[in-house]
Structure 1
Amino acid sequence: MSILLDGKAVAALHERELSEHVAALKARNGGQTPILATILVGDDPSSATYVSMKGSACRRVGMDSIVIKLSASATTDDVLSAINRLNANQAVHGILLQHPVPAHVDERLCFDRISISKDVDGVTSHGFGLMALGEPAFGSATPAGIMRLLAHYKIDVSGKRAVVVGRSPILGKPMALMLSNANATVTLCHSKTSNLEAEIRRAQLIVGAVGKPNFIRSDWISDGAIVIDAGYHTGGIGDIHPDGLMGRCAAVTPVPGGVGPMTISTLIAQTLGAAERVWSTIQ
């Protein structure tokens, strides 16, 4: 019997908890509201949709969001200037630079300009290093959301053989480290991995984070495995081909409705956490 890891339902449950938390926080601090600021560079429709969804999630829990829109021709300096202004704005508690940015923008330089205290998407090198060492930090939102999803369903990864396919600095790499910090034995695979099928067949937990639709074949995955698909492509397709997984695997995330809602829920929760840190130091 497979467990459907319903991220949409879990995120909705978390939103109710967050709403209560935000209301209580406002009651204590004179009505001040946690604010997430998002920088959107260019006119990619998918990115615009994601930004809109994040803003809606903020409002549902009683938080605020602002969006800084820059043209596709914006330079790295333009993006850095926007980040500098948000870093200096004491009313802003979290900063998100929507990924991806146009190719001519130095994304890593821009990510690392975000103040560590406002890095609620876990994208800075500083934040990544703290997370890797097991120190307090806001983790990258998608892998952190996956860990929250597993915890909700009481899935213990300790001692399990885990395979993460994809080595993005904001998804695959932090995912591998979070699993390792939770005592899984982790193999990080990528486009240069020899005999990827064999690596996946050995996995008790597989995370698809390669960014290619249906790249991982369902018949590579062993019976009883835990299957986490972090991909999302046009037509509601993930990175892992879903045929036959439900029924023979221990747990499976749907696409859509699995990892995506948990990413947004985690981003909101971490923005609230950042606001609490600020207000706790000035009360």
Structure 2
Amino acid sequence: MPGSCTPAATLQEMNFLSKDYYNDVTILPVQHEEPLPRTNLALGRPAVGSSNDGTVDTAPYATDGDMSTRFGTKRGVDPGWIYVDLGERKPINEVRLYWEAAYGKSYKIQVTDDPSSEANWRDVYTTTDGRGAVIVIGVWLLRNILPVHGLTPIHPDDLKVIARDQEDIKMLDVRDPVDYLREHENGTVNISLGRLPYLWKKELSTSEPVVILGGSSRQSKQAARFLKRVGFRQLYIIKDEPGRKNRQGQTGTAVCCSDCCR
């Protein structure tokens, strides 16, 4: 405050209440930028159901925005399904399912660019413990489950074969340095996931094929998405194998061979 080394703690100490010290000042509440409204991509879009629980086609009710209507499949006929045509590929932040008293206990959420064949659909969410109510599935979960286009899964036993056939191949281990030093493949490059955006140019080239090794499938997929975004086109990931363990007795995708791991 004026004439003192002590910071002012009140408006009085700041002489703020006395207009002899200032003019044309307006105090406004702190205003934060409002978040952008989320668009319901399915609202009003065409919908097709596998069957109906009555004589009326109820599939359009799933996307009409009216909470008093609902879609239902014929009872006793499983599996029942419904798909919504968004018209074009669009980014999705979340998926919301509004169940009523009747709800699915076991169900999947699938996506496709071409619904003409069942083989074109891929799972992005699966549950066998549905509990009804309002279910919100966030994009972070979908990104962890969705396959990465252009990422080729390979069996651990095929790793040496690919390395032999493609001499310029790089094996990238995205685990933390502590885990990498404990156990790793000979000839691998260690760039942890957090450092990858800053260091990849020092060790990798977009023209080279890359095998991604990580402590988990999630880590490997995150690395693959980044590498694909900066221009890599030949990316491989080790297939998940339930129960497969490394030499430390831990499960994961940091795979070891008896003659190539130290």
TM-score normalised by length of structure 1: 0.23
**Higher RCO (CA 8 Å, separation ≥ 6 residues):** 1
Q: Which has the higher helix share?
A: 1
TM-score normalised by length of structure 2: 0.24
